[in-house]
Amino acid sequence: MSTDGAGGLAELLDRHEKDLLAAWIDSQLRSVTGRRDLISEAELREQSRQLLRLVRDAAVLGGTEDIQGAQWAPVREMLGAVSASRARLGFTPSETAAFVFSLKEPLFALLRQQLGTDARAIGDETWKATVLVDRLGLYTTEVYQTSREDVIARQHEEMLELSTPVVQLWDSILGLPLIGTLDSARTQVVMESLLQRIVDTGARIAIIDITGVPTVDTLVAQHLLKTVAAARLMGADCIISGIRPQIAQTVVHLGLDLSTVVTKATLADAFAVALQRVGLSVVRSPVPR
């Protein structure tokens, strides 16, 4: 049996693909870290079959030294797809990489079996095999990281939109509960949503509640005042509510000028003022039996 260079490993993969596949699937099914709750046996079999086939093809065509080469592109693509889909299913990076690393055990067993008497050959080919599988596993981890980062970025955007809901509290009165920090990007989203709602509902008062805004510094105050000014240009006055005691202190310590805007401690107080402003009042009526 020839053991020169990559020919040894590649040739083995070529000749014993079927047995190797069977051994690999078997070891995965037996493993406790297989996350069988997240992926079905059928899918596992198919992914293993595909990967092994692609690895064999690449090794035969281009050797096992450089997995970044053109011949390994189909393998990289497949690993990318597996990695992305497993990330979506909820696999941890280790679990996804473990899928690739689990090929080592059956592969080494195959090498021992086939190269039995030649200790040197076993050493060389085992080394090549471990380097190859390590690289493939690491590649899987890298792709996983990138796709997680994409998911996080997208979720961040969605959160930004969801966290600025504008609610209609009553005819002519809008409520805007702000949750989280108010940076300039968020302020843009807030202003656009608020102004659009003012147009849609013809609101005359907007209550901006900052109970959920952790800190109010000079910049946040500027952003709030900008929002108030923009709403006013469209004929709606704003009341800022949810001023916590610490915020009141910060406002004074920083010398922030909120004198152009009506501020109230609670949303309820603000709502009462708003009702008064638009000429409405709440009247007690007998409760129907």
Binding of other proteins at residue 196 (CB under 8 A)? yes
Query: Which residue number, 92 or 260, has a Cβ lying nearer to other proteins?
Result: 260
Closest CA to 100 of 162, 147, 144: 144
Sheet holding 205-212, edge to edge: 167-170, 173-179, 205-212, 237-241, 262-263
Binding mask 246-275 for other proteins (x = CB under 8 A): --------------x---------------
Taking CB under 8 A as the binding criterion, the range among 32-40, 60-68, 117-125, 228-236 that sits at the site for other proteins is 228-236
User: Least distance to other proteins from the beta carbon of 196, Å?
Assistant: 6
To the nearest 10°, report the CA torsion of 148, 214, 184, 194: 100
Helix (H) or strand (E) holding 188: helix 184-201
CB 224 within 8 A of CB 191: no
Binding of other proteins at residue 236 (CB under 8 A)? yes
Pull the structure tokens for residue 219. 């910049």
The span from the CA of 227 to the CA of 52, in Å, is 58
Binding of other proteins at residue 226 (CB under 8 A)? yes
Pull the structure tokens for residue 178. 């702000």
Residue of 21, 195, 207, 238 that binds other proteins (CB under 8 A): 195
Taking CB under 8 A as the binding criterion, the range among 13-21, 62-70, 116-124, 232-240 that sits at the site for other proteins is 232-240
In the complex, the residues that contact other proteins under the rule CB under 8 A are 188, 191-192, 195-196, 198-199, 202, 204, 226, 229-237, 260, 277
